[in-house]
Amino acid sequence: MFESDSPPGIGQIVLLNKGRDTGVSAVVIHRLDEKFVLVEDGERRKFDRPKKKNIQHSTSCDYVSSEVQNSISETGRATYARLRHAVNTFVHEILKD
């Protein structure tokens, strides 16, 4: 379920391991470079205020939200509802199993 070796892509769920957001699941919305990504969760972190996160301080999961990925590629942004749905789907369906 977790793959820490490959860098996370857009729409991928990551678990934040450092900072005040420790333990929070978030969606990658943009890769800044090989070291940093922008993440959001749709509740605390929204599209207009993403969190810049070092990928070494997060764990990549093998779950990618195709809805978020398609929305960002088509319109350049994702709605809060889509971000929340992606995170909730991951937490309630994937982590529970």
Residue 3 lies in a domain: no
> What global pTM score does this model have?
0.85
pLDDT per position as a tens digit, 31-76 = 999 999 999 988 876 667 888 999 999 999 889 999 999 999 999 8
Contact in structure between 77 and 83 (CB atoms under 8 Å):
no
Residue 2 lies in a domain: no
CATH number for the domain spanning 45: value is 2.30.30.30
Q: How far apart are CA 39 and CA 68, in angstroms?
A: 12
Residue 1 lies in a domain: no
pLDDT per position as a tens digit, 6-35 = 678 899 999 999 988 898 899 999 999 999
- Where in the sequence is the domain holding 64, given as residue range(s)? 12-94
If one counts the domains in the chain, the total is: 1
